[in-house]
Structure 1
Amino acid sequence: MQAPEHANYDVVIVGGAIYGSAVAWFLTDNPDFDGTILVVERDPTYEFASTSHTNSCIRQQFSEEINVRISQFAADYIKNFRSHMGGDARIPQPLIHSFGYLYLADNAGFAAALREAQKIQAACGAGTRHMSRDEIAQAYPFYQLDDIIAGNHNTVDEGYFDGHTLFDWWRRMAKERGVTFLTNEVVAMNRNAAGTRVESVILKSGEVVGCGTVVNASGPRALLTARMAGIDMPVEPRKRYTFVFEAAEPLDRDLPLTIDPSGVHMRTDGAYYMAGCPPDDDGPVDYADFAADHSIWEDKVWPILATRIPQFEALKLRNAWVGHYAYNTFDQNAILGAHDAVANFVFVNGFSGHGLQQSPAIGRGTAELITYGEYRTLDLTPLNFTRIAQGARFVEKAVI
């Protein structure tokens, strides 16, 4: 455990993975913020962090405009990463491998929902196409489409990018600008007598650190952090499985990130392919439970791959892992902004699998909120915590 350098910080961020690093970086990059920042991370190896288990995908295919806009900013940010980071020649320039997402509909209701979503995306300038079964077959003849009636596909700024590059450089550059990343753990919080502000956090090593703002960037552990401030929130850890496999007969073109009606998704992954899915019993798990159910590959994923793409009948599994979604049980969308009663407690939580691609816009927006008390560039208020308190769900239909 490391001890903090100062007794007080203007901003204390609980969690140092993608969101802790994003908020820290964007605060240092805001010319109107000149405060001190402490990031407290319990595991500096990030072995079990959702950031380490991400598939690093990005899409604009959402049914709500704000989620489309968030991903559009991310696409621009990724493609101009070095410029956004100040032009430092040390910083690599990531690429977006735009093989796109392909949603497959096997019933008229889902096909109609895809058509409506395509209209919303197109109005935002996204390149999504609504495709008939014949059009899908012409573009990708390797699919077996007997049960499919339509699909949506976008090959513009949609696919895969190296999210670890963003994470690494946000953290590195934030440190260079004076942010303290502390290997320790926040175990309790002290509020004022009225319960309207967090006055200090208590570290596992015993130090009490005063704070102006607390940011909950704790990923799947967000509820544990919130409860220290007397706050309840609908976020829990849920398992998600990823499988990397080799095909005996590789496809002759990139495999879009295909969302099968079964819930299994698959995509190109360099020379290999990647597939993923939730477990059939998709409930909350212990924060330390990363045990794999090996039957999911044999009994669920492989049969679906071989049915949808007959060339995938002969496969060799090369790698597999289990990660945790920070799953928002209320409406599966990000929970942002300040708490309605504890005014200096700020959320960046509950992304339900969308976190990495949303981190540039939400890191920037949260830094604006802390600095100005409002969002200045992209209005993220529809995702604020207040909707939880009001029981007003933000309904996003395109959740994987």
Structure 2
Amino acid sequence: MQAPQKNSYDVVIVGGAMYGSSVAWWLTENADFNGTILVVEKDPTYEFTSTSHTNSCMRQQFSAPINIKISQFAADFVKNFRAYMGGDTRVPHLALQSYGYMYLADTEAFAQNLREAQKVQQAHGAGTKHMTAAEIKAAYPFYNMDDIVAGNHNLIDEGYFDGNTLFDWWKRSARERGAEYVHNQVVAMSRVNDRIESVTLASGEVIACGTVVNASGPRAVLTSRMAGIEIPVEPRKRYTFIFQAEDPLDRDLPLTIDPSGVHMRTDGTYYLAGCPPDDDPAVDYDDFVQDHAIWEEKVWPVLAHRVPQFERIRLVNSWAGHYAYNTFDQNAIIGPHNAVSNFIFVNGFSGHGFQQSPALGRGVAEWIATGAFQTLDLTPFAFDRIVRGQKFVEKAVI
């Protein structure tokens, strides 16, 4: 464990993975903020974080306009990464592999939902096209379309990117600009009325703070309970499989969302597939045990049905990771608590976290620096909606 250099910080961020580092970096970038930052991370290897298990996917195919705008900013950020990082020549150029998402509908009701979503996306500048089964088959002959009615597809700024490089540079740049990272753990908080006055570390130090940011991923509720706050976020297990095809496709495979819930896409010279389990309970925070029956009994049969060339494939690698799953409405919780004014949430992304991290990290930094969201209005994600029982409706949740 490392002790911090000071006994008081303007901002203490609990969790130093993708969101902790995004908020830290955006704070150093914000001209309205000149305070001190402490990032407390219990595992500096990040081995078991959601960040390390991400598939780094990005899509604009949401039903809520604010989610579309968030991803549009993310696409711009990735494509202009070096420029956003101040033109630092050490920073690599990142590619956004725009193979697109392909949502497939097997019922007319599902197809109608896709049509409605496409209209919303198009109205907000997304390049989504609604396609008939015949149009999809013409563009991607390898699909079996016998049970498909229609689909939505977007080849503009939608696909996947190298998210871990983005994370690494946020962390590195934030530290170079003065944010202090320590290998430690917040184990308690002192709350006086509507404010958190201090946090206590596992190594014994009591650190005074102006603002606390909960960037604890699937462990968000453990952090919030130290402040006397309940938050509907729990770890849900998600499975990823990397496989090689004996008969590879003659073109890129879009990130295909099969009606079964299985998704698949090109992954370099290999292919990637994933899915949630049919029985999807909360799991222990340290449970990353794989269920190999999911590959044999669910994923492989779906792959072979949807893409007959995938009847002969070889599993190369696989892992289980955790979604920070918002059980209330599967969307982010952003900004201050309604009663504890200096306790800030960046939680509950339910699988959308990497693609939303540029915009939401920026928005949280704006709130801390100025008391308001400046560039995108993120108030629909406020904790207060949970208090009111008013869900944020997003139909396109994977």
TM-score by length of 2: 1.00
Superposed counterparts of 1:258-273, under 5 Å? 258-273=256-271
Partner residue in 1 for 2:80 = 80
Partner residue in 1 for 2:43 = 43
Partner residue in 2 for 1:184 = 184
- The Cα offsets for residues 298-335 of structure 1, whole Å up to 9 and x where unpaired, read as 01100000000000000000000000000000000000
Secondary structure of the residue that 1:307 maps to in structure 2?
helix
Q: 2:202 aligns with which of 193, 204, 207?
A: 204
- Residue type matched to 1:85 in 2? M
**For the residues of structure 1 that align with 2:29 and 2:154, how far apart are their CA atoms?**
32
Alignment length (residue pairs) = 398
**For the residues of structure 2 that align with 1:292 and 1:84, how far apart are their CA atoms?**
38
Superposed counterparts of 1:293-332, under 5 Å? 293-332=291-330
Shift of 1:371: 0.5
**For the residues of structure 2 that align with 1:152 and 1:126, how far apart are their CA atoms?**
12
**For the residues of structure 1 that align with 2:279 and 2:290, how far apart are their CA atoms?**
13
**For the residues of structure 1 that align with 2:229 and 2:145, how far apart are their CA atoms?**
48
- Residue type matched to 1:128 in 2? T
Partner residue in 2 for 1:235 = 233
Shift of 1:282: 0.5
Structure 2 residue 16 is the aligned partner of structure 1 residue 25: no
- Residue type matched to 1:142 in 2? F
**For the residues of structure 1 that align with 2:317 and 2:143, how far apart are their CA atoms?**
24
**For the residues of structure 1 that align with 2:313 and 2:262, how far apart are their CA atoms?**
16
Partner residue in 1 for 2:91 = 91
Shift of 1:32: 1.2
Shift of 1:256: 0.2
**For the residues of structure 2 that align with 1:18 and 1:186, how far apart are their CA atoms?**
18
**For the residues of structure 1 that align with 2:32 and 2:393, how far apart are their CA atoms?**
34
Partner residue in 1 for 2:113 = 113
**For the residues of structure 2 that align with 1:373 and 1:268, how far apart are their CA atoms?**
42
Shift of 1:108: 1.1
**For the residues of structure 2 that align with 1:177 and 1:200, how far apart are their CA atoms?**
24
- Residue type matched to 1:245 in 2? F
Shift of 1:280: 1.1
Shift of 1:111: 0.6
- Residue type matched to 2:174 in 1? A
Shift of 1:48: 0.3
Q: 2:242 aligns with which of 232, 241, 244?
A: 244
Secondary structure of the residue that 1:210 maps to in structure 2?
strand
Shift of 1:63: 0.2
**For the residues of structure 2 that align with 1:110 and 1:36, how far apart are their CA atoms?**
50
- Residue type matched to 2:258 in 1? D
* Gap runs ≥5 in structure 2: none
Superposed counterparts of 1:49-198, under 5 Å? 49-192=49-192, 194=193, 196-198=194-196
Shift of 1:109: 1.1
Secondary structure of the residue that 1:351 maps to in structure 2?
coil
Shift of 1:154: 0.2
The CA RMSD over aligned residues, in Å, is 0.4
Secondary structure of the residue that 2:219 maps to in structure 1?
helix
Partner residue in 2 for 1:352 = 350
Secondary structure of the residue that 2:171 maps to in structure 1?
helix
Secondary structure of the residue that 1:168 maps to in structure 2?
helix
**For the residues of structure 1 that align with 2:136 and 2:381, how far apart are their CA atoms?**
34
Q: 2:283 aligns with which of 282, 285, 289?
A: 285
**For the residues of structure 2 that align with 1:355 and 1:68, how far apart are their CA atoms?**
14
**For the residues of structure 2 that align with 1:281 and 1:43, how far apart are their CA atoms?**
29
Partner residue in 1 for 2:6 = 6
- The Cα offsets for residues 202-253 of structure 1, whole Å up to 9 and x where unpaired, read as 0001100000000000000000000000000100000000000000000000
Q: Percent identity?
A: 71
**For the residues of structure 1 that align with 2:15 and 2:118, how far apart are their CA atoms?**
36
**For the residues of structure 2 that align with 1:14 and 1:280, how far apart are their CA atoms?**
32
- Residue type matched to 1:19 in 2? Y
Partner residue in 2 for 1:395 = 393
**For the residues of structure 2 that align with 1:369 and 1:116, how far apart are their CA atoms?**
33
**For the residues of structure 1 that align with 2:238 and 2:77, how far apart are their CA atoms?**
27
**For the residues of structure 2 that align with 1:135 and 1:124, how far apart are their CA atoms?**
24
- Residue type matched to 1:350 in 2? G
- Residue type matched to 2:9 in 1? Y
